[in-house]
């Protein structure tokens, strides 16, 4: 049986941001704040949601991995390191064209959350002792 595919979101998100910026627009990322692992500055969320400008000019060190989106940004003139688990992401859109560019990430975020739970529940791989190597002439 083939192993399950990895989540698409870590690959799709940078591509969507690049597409929005290639169209001379500002990528805006929407996140739910009550998901475990969210690290954001206090006082910027509204109704459990926060929206970030994730353009290359607005953030530093933007990284997407299999678990989270991380970047540095300024809030009220102070630097803050943001961490958004993939399961917290809700949408991405271009600020200048929100209706024409919006992409819901809810299904992809659920996929990432399921993959994370499956990884935690999987049995660890057990090694069968040291490798058996021999020198071949």
What are the pLDDT digits (tens) for 23-60?
Answer: 999 999 999 999 999 999 999 999 999 999 999 999 99
Domain 16-120: CATH class, spelled out: mainly beta
> Would the pLDDT of 85 be above 80?
yes
Q: Is 7 within 8 Å of 108 (Cβ atoms)?
A: yes
- φ and ψ of 115, to 5 deg: -65, -40
**Per-residue tokens: 30:** 């929407």
Q: Is 78 within 8 Å of 99 (Cβ atoms)?
A: no
- Compute the average pLDDT of residues 92-100: 88
- The band of 5, judged by pLDDT with boundaries at 50, 70 and 90, is confident
DSSP-assigned letter for residue 40: -
pLDDT at 21: 96
The whole-angstrom separation of Cα 62 and Cα 73 is: 10
Domain residue spans in the chain?
A: 16-120
pTM of the full structure:
0.76
Nearest to residue 58, comparing CAs of 28, 36, 38?
28
């Amino acid at each position: 049986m083939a192993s399950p595919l990895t989540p698409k979101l870590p690959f799709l998100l940078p591509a969507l941001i690049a597409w929005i910026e290639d169209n001379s627009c500002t990528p805006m990322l929407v996140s739910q704040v009550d998901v475990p692992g969210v690290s954001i500055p206090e006082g910027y969320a509204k109704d459990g949601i926060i929206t970030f400008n994730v353009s290359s000019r607005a953030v530093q060190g933007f990284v997407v991995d299999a678990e989270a989106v991380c970047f540095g940004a300024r809030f009220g003139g102070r630097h803050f390191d943001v961490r958004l688990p993939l399961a917290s992401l809700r949408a991405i859109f271009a600020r200048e064209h929100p209706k024409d560019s919006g992409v819901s990430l809810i299904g992809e975020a659920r996929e990432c959350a399921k993959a994370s739970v499956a990884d935690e529940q999987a049995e660890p791989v057990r090694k069968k002792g040291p490798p058996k190597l021999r020198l071949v002439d």
